[in-house]
C-alpha cells in the first residue's frame, strides 16, 4: 500500500522533496498543485508518476493525501491554508514555507492537524541534505519519531527551537549556495588554464570531499587546516594571503548577516 503525499506548490523545493522521497523507492503516490502551468509542467517532467491538480483544487489534493507538504511562497501560505482548512482535520502537514511560523500555520488549520515546520536544503534531493525542523503544539505520541523518520529520508534531520530557524536558514538553507559560489571560480580557472572540464570537475570535487572527510575524521578546526597547508613563501600561502588582503572573511560575514537579517524579517512579516 503506497503512502499518498500531496505537494501544495510544485516549484523547486517541491521537486527536490518529491525527488528525494521517491529516490530508490516506489512506496509513494504523489500529488501536486501548481499556481502556474510552467510549474506544473516542470514537476511532471521531474516526477512523471505524479498526478497534478490546478490550484483551485487544492482541497481535493489535501483530501486525497495522508501527508501534505506546504511548499508555496511565504506570502501565499496563509491564503492556501485558509482555502484547505476544512480538509486538514487529522492530516500530517509539513511546511517548508520560509518565515511562516508554526503559530501562523496552526491558527489556519483544524485543531486535529499535526504540523511540522522544516527547512530542507538542496542536497535533500539525493538524501544528503540537512533539515532543521520543529513540531507544532497539540502533537500526539509518536509524532516526533514520525517526523524524524520522514525527514531523515532527505538527509540529517535536526530538531531545533523555532527561534533558531532564521539562523539555521542563513547557515544551512543557504549553505550549498555558499559552497558552490566558491567552487564555481575554481572550476572556471581550471578550464581557462588548460584542464579538461570533466577532469577539472573530478579533481576539484574530490579535493573538497577529501577536505571535508579530514574534518569529520579528526579534531582539526578548519582554521588549523589552513595554517597546516601554508608555509612562508609557499604556494598555498601566496593564494591565502591574497584572500586575506581582499578581506574575504569579512565579506562572507556580511553575506551571512544579510541572509540572517532577511530570514528574521520574513519571520516578523
In this prediction, residues 3-27 reach a mean pLDDT of 90
- The confidence band for 35, taking pLDDT boundaries of 50, 70 and 90, is confident
Are 152 and 243 members of one domain? Answer: no
| Residues 122 and 186 grouped into a single domain | no
| Domain boundary, last residue among 131, 161, 191 | 161
In a domain, 170, yes or no: no
Q: Virtual CA dihedral for 255, 259, 260, 264, nearest 10 degrees?
A: 150
Query: Helix axis angle, 222-229 relative to 197-217, nearest 10°?
Result: 120
112 within some domain = yes
- Domain end position, chosen among 102, 126, 161: 161
CATH number, domain of 260, equals: 1.10.3730.10
- Tally the domains of the chain: 2
Among 155, 118, 153, residue whose Cα is nearest residue 135: 118
Residues 100 and 226 in one domain: no
* Res. 46: pLDDT tops 80: yes
Q: Give 167-173's long-range contacts (Cβ < 8 A, gap of 24+).
A: 167/260, 167/263, 168/119, 168/132, 169/98, 169/119, 169/259, 169/263, 170/256, 170/259, 170/260, 170/262, 170/263, 171/256, 172/119, 172/121, 172/130, 172/132, 173/98, 173/119, 173/120, 173/121
Q: pLDDT tens digit string along 148-172?
A: 999 999 999 999 999 999 999 999 9
Phi/psi at 176 (nearest 5 deg)?
-60, -35
Residues 78 and 184 in one domain: no
pLDDT digits (tens, 9 = 90+) for 212-251: 999 999 999 999 999 999 999 999 999 999 999 999 999 9
183 has pLDDT over 70: yes
pTM given for the model: 0.90
Phi, psi of 205 (to 5 degrees): -65, -35
| Residues 69, 130 within the same domain | yes
> Which comes out higher in pLDDT, residue 39 or 173?
173
Domain assignment of residue 167, yes or no: no
The alpha carbon of residue 189 and the mean position of all alpha carbons in its chain are separated, in whole angstroms, by: 29
Residues 6+ apart with CB under 8 A from 75: 269
Asked if residue 170 lies in contact with residue 260, where contact means CB atoms within 8 angstroms, the answer is yes
193/204 Cα distance (integer angstroms)? 14
- 132 and 258 share a domain? no
- From the number of C-beta atoms within 10 Å of its C-beta (0-12, 13-18, 19+), residue 195 rates as middle
Residue with cell 570535487: 205
DSSP conformation class of 7: E
Domain containing 242 equals: 175-268
Amino acid at each position: 500500500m503506497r503512502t499518498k503525499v500531496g505537494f501544495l506548490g510544485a516549484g523547486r523545493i517541491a521537486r527536490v522533496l518529491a525527488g528525494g522521497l521517491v529516490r530508490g523507492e516506489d512506496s509513494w503516490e504523489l500529488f501536486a498543485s501548481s499556481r502556474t502551468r510552467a510549474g506544473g509542467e516542470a514537476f511532471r517532467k521531474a516526477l512523471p508518476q505524479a498526478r497534478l491538480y490546478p490550484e483551485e483544487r487544492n482541497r481535493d489534493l489535501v483530501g486525497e493525501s495522508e501527508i501534505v507538504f506546504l511548499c508555496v511562497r511565504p506570502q501565499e501560505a496563509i491564503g492556501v491554508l485558509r482555502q484547505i482548512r476544512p480538509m486538514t482535520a487529522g492530516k500530517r502537514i509539513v511546511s517548508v514555507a520560509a518565515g511562516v511560523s508554526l503559530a501562523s500555520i496552526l491558527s489556519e488549520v483544524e485543531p486535529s492537524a499535526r504540523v511540522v515546520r522544516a527547512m530542507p536544503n538542496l542536497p535533500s534531493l539525493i538524501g544528503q541534505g540537512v533539515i532543521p525542523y520543529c513540531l507544532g503544539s497539540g502533537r500526539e505520541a509518536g509524532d516526533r519519531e514520525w517526523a524524524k523518520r520522514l525527514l531523515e529520508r532527505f538527509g540529517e534531520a535536526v530538531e531545533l527551537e523555532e527561534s533558531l530557524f532564521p539562523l539555521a536558514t542563513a547557515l544551512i538553507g543557504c549553505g550549498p549556495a555558499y559552497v558552490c559560489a566558491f567552487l564555481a571560480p575554481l572550476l572556471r580557472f581550471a578550464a581557462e588554464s588548460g584542464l579538461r572540464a570533466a577532469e577539472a570537475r573530478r579533481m576539484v570535487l574530490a579535493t573538497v570531499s577529501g577536505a571535508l572527510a579530514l574534518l569529520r575524521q579528526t579534531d582539526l578546526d578548519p582554521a588549523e587546516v589552513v595554517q597546516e597547508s601554508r608555509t612562508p613563501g609557499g604556494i598555498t600561502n601566496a593564494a591565502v594571503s591574497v584572500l586575506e588582503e581582499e578581506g574575504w572573511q569579512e565579506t562572507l560575514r556580511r553575506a551571512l548577516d544579510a541572509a540572517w537579517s532577511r530570514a528574521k524579517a520574513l519571520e516578523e512579516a
